């Protein structure tokens, strides 16, 4: 196969959208729950109240009239535009237990929750823990500062907004397929550079503190898709670790161009979360970012999102790079987050 820059093609599927266009198509990606749908979710929450959240399955959380809506959204997320926003769950009147049950119950209709860190958290709390900005083991979701565009390590990431914070904190998403197309148009030589593997570390999430690296390119063609994988924080942190290949000048230039294209208002879609919003994204075709935010001094009013990482049996076909790097054998050949055989999954109801 001719891999010269001139031979690179662009992609025209539903994944290749631009934000300024998507902003005008809200009716396609925004679902507002009706009162009847909310009542059905509350019935399922109540019916599961004696069950551990971790044990709730699709069968024990029936949603007969919502099922078709969830299936359509799941198809759109995995095989269409790559994202959906589900709006209007009454989180103000729900306890954290009810909220977590509702989220988990909706989540298992879309995929299988997987571990998000070395503690086995299958339900994550995205909130400011006042941790150091540049510490090797601090994750971006524990801070208030701007998070550059990146992917997570799962088929789907879901964020459920409980409290949006005082100001800022916009969620920005961008089509990684569009970024690739733009790279091919502007600098096909750099597009080619990013089809070669980058080294990432798991430094913050190895329970036994052993070092582990994987090699995955940022852009990987697979069938009719361009699959992207950009665990940006862990790729850049790896550069400080002895033995990791330093970036070449071409890689530095290529990554800067990706960051630059992603963070341009022509390309990204800006979402401001309201309490009760759930955003689901497909990491393989979407990069996400968060603007910095101001938090309340009152701990009870801090910005607080719940996160799910979902493995999806019916997700897009994955490149061998991703399978080799992340298939633990416990998520039917999909990425399995930070699975570790000695760490059982858990569902914490507060940030730790």
Residue with Cβ nearer Fe ion (106 or 231): 231
Backbone angles phi, psi at 183, to 5 degrees: -60, -45
**How many other C-beta atoms can be found within 10 angstroms of the C-beta atom of residue 152?**
20
Residues 294-313 that bind Fe ion (CB under 5 A): none
Residue position matching structure tokens 């299936």: 71
Q: Which is nearer to Fe ion, 66 or 238 (CB)?
A: 238
* Shortest spacing between CB 286 and Fe ion, in angstroms: 11
Cα–Cα nearest to 57, from 99, 104, 115, 103: 104
Shortest Cβ distance from residue 282 to Fe ion (Å)? 13
For residues 15 and 283, which CB has a smaller minimum distance to Fe ion in the complex?
283
CA 329 to chain centre: 21
Contacts of 10 (CB under 8 A, 6+ apart): 16, 180, 181, 184, 185
Shortest separation between residue 117's beta carbon and Fe ion, angstroms: 12
- Specify the residue, 152 or 295, whose C-beta has the smaller distance to Fe ion: 152
Task: Give bridge partners of residue 31 from the DSSP assignment.
Answer: 86
Give the C-alpha separation, 352 to 341, whole Å.
21
Q: Considering the rule CB under 5 A, would residue 76 count as an interface residue with Fe ion?
A: no
Q: How far is the CB of 51 from Fe ion (least distance, A)?
A: 29
Q: Between residues 101 and 304, which has the closer beta carbon with respect to Fe ion?
A: 304
User: What binding mask, one character per residue, do residues 208-247 give for Fe ion by CB under 5 A, x or -?
Assistant: ----------------------------------------
Report the residue number, 83 or 94, with the smaller CB distance to Fe ion: 83
The whole-angstrom separation of Cα 340 and Cα 321 is 20
Structure tokens belonging to residue 336 = 């399995």
Binding flags for Fe ion, 98-137, as an x/- string (CB under 5 A):
----------------------------------------
Judge contact between 30 and 87, C-beta under 8 A: yes
> For the window 26-65, what string marks contact with Fe ion as x by the rule CB under 5 A?
----------------------------------------
In the bound complex, what is the minimum distance in angstroms from residue 288's beta carbon to Fe ion?
6
* Cβ–Cβ under 8 Å, residues 191 and 251: no
CA angle 209, 210, 215 (to 5 degrees): 120
- In the complex, the smallest distance separating the C-beta of residue 262 from Fe ion, rounded to whole angstroms, is 13
* Residue of this chain nearest to Fe ion (CB atom): 152
Q: For residues 157 and 114, give the distance between their C-alpha atoms in angstroms, rounded to a whole number.
A: 10
| Pick 152 or 205: Cβ nearer Fe ion | 152
CB of 148 to Fe ion, least distance (A): 10
Residue ranges of E strands in the chain: 30-32, 83-87, 112-113, 124-127, 147-150, 156-163, 167-168, 171-175, 197-201, 213-217, 219-222, 225-228, 269-271, 278-282, 286-290, 293-294, 304-311
The distance of closest approach from Cβ of residue 150 to Fe ion in the complex, given in angstroms and rounded to an integer, is: 6
Residues binding Fe ion: what is the number (CB under 5 A)?
1
* Locus of tokens 């497909």: 282
Task: Compare residues 101 and 143 and give the one whose CB is closer to Fe ion.
Answer: 143
Q: Give the shortest CB-48-to-Fe ion separation in angstroms.
A: 28
Please tell me the distance from the alpha carbon of residue 163 to that of residue 128, in angstroms, as a whole number.
12
Task: Compose the 140-159 pattern: x for residues touching Fe ion by CB under 5 A, - for all others.
Answer: ------------x-------
Choice between 193 and 214, CB closer to Fe ion: 214
The footprint of Fe ion (CB under 5 A) covers 152
């Amino acid at each position: 196969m001719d891999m010269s820059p001139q031979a690179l093609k662009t992609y025209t599927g539903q994944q290749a959208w631009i934000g300024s266009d998507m902003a005008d198509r809200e009716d396609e990606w925004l679902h507002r729950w009706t009162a009847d749908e909310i009542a059905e979710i509350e019935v399922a929450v109540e019916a599961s109240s004696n069950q551990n959240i971790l044990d709730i399955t699709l069968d024990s959380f029936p949603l007969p009239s919502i099922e078709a809506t969830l299936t359509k959204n799941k198809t759109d997320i995995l095989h269409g535009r790559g994202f959906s926003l589900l709006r209007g769950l009454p989180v103000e009147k729900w306890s954290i237990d009810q909220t977590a049950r509702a989220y988990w119950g909706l989540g298992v209709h879309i995929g299988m929750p997987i571990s998000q860190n070395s503690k086995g958290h299958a339900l994550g709390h995205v909130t400011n823990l006042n941790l150091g900005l540049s510490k090797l083991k601090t994750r971006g979701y524990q801070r208030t500062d701007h998070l550059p565009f990146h992917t997570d390590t799962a088929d789907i990431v879901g964020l459920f907004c409980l409290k949006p914070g005082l100001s800022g904190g916009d969620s920005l998403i961008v089509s990684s397929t569009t970024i690739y197309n733009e790279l091919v148009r502007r600098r096909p030589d750099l597009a080619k550079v990013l089809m070669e593997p980058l080294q990432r570390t798991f430094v913050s999430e190895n329970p036994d503190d052993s070092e582990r690296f994987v090699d995955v390119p940022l852009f990987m063609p697979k069938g009719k898709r361009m699959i992207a994988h950009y665990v940006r924080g862990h790729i850049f942190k790896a550069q400080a670790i002895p033995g990791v290949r330093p970036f070449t000048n071409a890689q530095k230039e290529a990554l800067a161009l990706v960051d630059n294209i992603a963070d341009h208002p022509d390309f990204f879609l800006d979402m401001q979360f309201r309490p009760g919003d759930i955003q689901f994204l497909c990491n393989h075709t979407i990069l996400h970012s968060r603007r910095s935010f101001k938090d309340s001094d009152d701990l009870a009013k801090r910005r607080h999102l719940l996160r799910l990482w979902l493995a999806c049996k019916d997700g897009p076909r994955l490149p061998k790079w991703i399978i080799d790097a992340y298939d633990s054998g416990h998520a039917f050949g999909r990425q399995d987050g930070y699975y570790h055989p000695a760490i059982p999954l858990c569902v914490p109801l507060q940030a730790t």
